[in-house]
Copies of this chain bind each other. A is one copy, B any other.
Amino acid sequence: MEIAKLGEFGLIDRLTKDLENKNESTKYGVGDDCAVLHYPDSEVLVTTDLLMEGVHFDLTYIDLKHLGYKSAMVNISDVFAMNGTPRQITVSLALSKRFTVEDMEEFYAGLRLACEKWNVDIVGGDTTSSYTGLAISITCIGEARKEDIVYRNGAKNTDLICVSGDLGAAYMGLQLLEREKSVYYQQVNEAKKKGDKKALEELAHFSPDFAGKEYLLQRQLQTEARGDIINKLREAGVHPTAMMDISDGLSSELMHICKQSGVGCRIFEKEIPIDYQTAVMAEEMNMNVTTCALNGGEDYELLFTVPIGDLDKVKDMEGVRMIGHITDQKYGQILVTRDNQEFELKAQGWNPLNDQK
C-alpha cells in the first residue's frame, strides 16, 4: 500500500496502534507534542543516532526488519555502555516514495523485537518524507542510579582492560556482503552485454552461498546490545572504572578512554578475542585479522576497565576477555604483538566524515 494513502497520521496510527508501555517511568507515549517520562530516583540517560541509507546501511544487504532491529539495538547499546538500563526510544523516519506501508511494518517489527528483548517502550517520533532514500533517527532514554553510572573518564593506572565477545566479525560480515554484491553485479553486467536472457533470469533468483560464514553475517545484520554482560558484572559486584561500546573499532574507542581518563594503555595482540570465522575470512581476503579486530566497526561489544583487585572476578567470566592494562599516560597507547614487538595504537576506525563522496 502506498504510504500517501494513509498520510502521516494514518501511518503512525497503524504502526503504533497496539504499543503497550511496560515501564513505570513511561507516563505518556505516542500521541502528543511530547512523551512524558518520570524519573524521580535516578539519573536520565539520553543518546541519539542518525542513520542514512547508502552511508550506514545498504538495503541490498539488509532487510527492513533487521534494519529496524539494528537501529534500536545500537542506541540501546549506548545506554548499557553507561551501565544504565534502557527504558524508552523515539523513532524518526524520513521515507522516499519507494517505501510502502508494509515496508514500514517490517521495520517496526524489527524495532519492536529489539525493544521487547530489553523491555524498552516506543514513546514517540516523527514520520516524514525524503527525496532520496531512508533516514532513521533514534533517541534512546534510560536510567541509572548516580553512583552506578560509568563514564569514559575513570580509567586508572594498573586497571585491567576487558572486552566482551569477539571483535572484527561485523566488519568481516560487511566485507563478505560487499564482495558478493560486486560479484553479482559483475555477472549481471556480463549477461546483459552478451544478451544472455537465461543467465539473467537465473541471476534474478540467485542467492549467494554463505555456508560456514553465518556468524559473520549475523554479527553484521543482527546486532546485539550486551546487556547480558552488564547484568553479569553487576551480579559479580564488579563496577567498571570506564566503559564504552565498540562501534568504531577497538583502537579508536581505547583512545577515547585513554584521552578522557588521562592515561596510557598496553594491550596484547594474542589476547584480542577473534572468532574462527573471522580469522578464516580475513585469510581469504588477504587481510590482517588483528587489523580487522582493532579497526573494524559495528561490533557493539563493551570495552571496559576494572580495578586490578577485581582480577579474580573477571578472569573466568564467560564472554569477557582481559586484553591488557592501563598505564601511566607517558607510556602512550601500546599494542604488543605476538612476537613481542611494540606499536603505538592508531585509530583507523570508521570515520563517516572521511569516507564521504
| Inter-subunit contact B37/A137 (CB<8 Å) | no
Any B CB within 8 A of the CB of A45: yes
Given A55-B128, A131-B55 in contact, is the A43-B38 Cβ separation under 8 Å?
Answer: yes
Any B CB within 8 A of the CB of A28: yes
Contacts of A332 in B (CB 8 A): none
Q: In the assembly, what is the distance between CA of A49 and CA of B141, in Å?
A: 16
What is the copy number of this chain in the assembly?
A: 2
| Inter-subunit contact B11/A353 (CB<8 Å) | yes
| Inter-subunit contact B90/A354 (CB<8 Å) | no
Closest beta carbon of chain B to A319's beta carbon, Å: 20
| Inter-subunit contact A41/B40 (CB<8 Å) | yes
| Inter-subunit contact A46/B123 (CB<8 Å) | yes
- Residue of B at shortest CB range from A51? B128
The interface-forming segment of A2-10, A228-236, A268-276 is A2-10
Q: In the assembly, what is the distance between CA of A199 and CA of B17, in Å?
A: 58
- Residue of B at shortest CB range from A49? B126
The interface-forming segment of A80-88, A204-212, A288-296, A323-331 is A80-88
Interface centre among A33, A47, A82, A352 (most CB of B within 10 A): A33
Closest beta carbon of chain B to A152's beta carbon, Å: 5
Contacts of A357 in B (CB 8 A): 96-97, 131
Q: In the assembly, what is the distance between CA of A125 and CA of B75, in Å?
A: 12
Q: In the assembly, what is the distance between CA of A50 and CA of B51, in Å?
A: 12
A contacts with B, residue count (CB < 8 A)? 75
Given A55-B94, A126-B50, A353-B11 in contact, is the A84-B132 Cβ separation under 8 Å?
Answer: no
Which residue of B7, B46, B151, B356 is within 8 Å of A129 (Cβ)? B356
Contacts of A14 in B (CB 8 A): none
Interface residues in A1-53 (C-beta closer than 8 Å to B): 3-4, 6-8, 11, 27-28, 31-41, 43-50, 52
Given A48-B125, A124-B48 in contact, is the A95-B353 Cβ separation under 8 Å?
Answer: yes
Q: In the assembly, what is the distance between CA of A351 and CA of B4, in Å?
A: 9
Any B CB within 8 A of the CB of A133: yes
Any B CB within 8 A of the CB of A186: no
Any B CB within 8 A of the CB of A93: yes
Given A96-B356, A135-B135, A355-B129 in contact, is the A46-B35 Cβ separation under 8 Å?
Answer: yes
Q: In the assembly, what is the distance between CA of A81 and CA of B34, in Å?
A: 8
Any B CB within 8 A of the CB of A54: yes
- Residue of B at shortest CB range from A88? B46
Closest beta carbon of chain B to A133's beta carbon, Å: 7
Contacts of A163 in B (CB 8 A): none
Any B CB within 8 A of the CB of A245: yes
| Inter-subunit contact B356/A52 (CB<8 Å) | no
Contacts of A52 in B (CB 8 A): 94, 128-131, 135
| Inter-subunit contact B37/A46 (CB<8 Å) | yes
| Inter-subunit contact A4/B135 (CB<8 Å) | no
Closest beta carbon of chain B to A83's beta carbon, Å: 10
Given A41-B40, A50-B135, A92-B48 in contact, is the A55-B127 Cβ separation under 8 Å?
Answer: no
| Inter-subunit contact B55/A45 (CB<8 Å) | no
Told that A7-B351, A33-B81, A34-B84 touch, could you supply 7 new A-B pairs with CB distance under 8 A? A34-B47, A35-B45, A38-B43, A48-B126, A56-B128, A97-B356, A129-B356
